[in-house]
Amino acid sequence: MAGDQWDHERTEWLRRFHRDRRAGLDGPVGEATWPVSVDGAVVGSVRLQRTAKAAVLETGIWLTRSARGREEPQVGDLGLNCWWAILGSNQ
């Protein structure tokens, strides 16, 4: 979809994307996502995904334009705890 328009279809796609990843790294998608928030509002997400190589994980972050370059974005508490647990593991 072009531009910055978040219509119903695009919003539903994003919700499905994150719901599909709730099972985490061991789920069918092999990926997990967590929200990033500023002042209680979700402004993006971080993700962790298995790769074809054993013990190699891929990370990613997406932030809205308004959140980029700000110092205060926070990963949700559960996500941050899971993130560090996974990064500290040998998966």
Domain residues for the domain of 21 are: 8-87
Is residue 36 situated within a structural domain?
yes
| Dihedral pair phi/psi, residue 15, rounded to 5° | -60, -45
Is residue 65 situated within a structural domain?
yes
Is residue 41 situated within a structural domain?
yes
Is residue 3 situated within a structural domain?
no
pLDDT band at 16 (very low <50, low <70, confident <90, very high): very high
Q: Write out 13-44 in H/E/C secondary structure.
A: HHHHHHHCCCCCCCCCCCEEEEEEEECCEEEE
pLDDT, position 11: 84
pLDDT, position 89: 47
Residue type, 91: Q
- Residue 91 pLDDT > 80: no
pLDDT band at 84 (very low <50, low <70, confident <90, very high): low
Is residue 56 situated within a structural domain?
yes
pLDDT, position 34: 86
pLDDT single digits (tens) 19-70: 999 998 889 999 999 888 877 888 888 889 999 998 888 988 888 887 777 6
Q: How many domains does the chain have?
A: 1
Is residue 45 situated within a structural domain?
yes
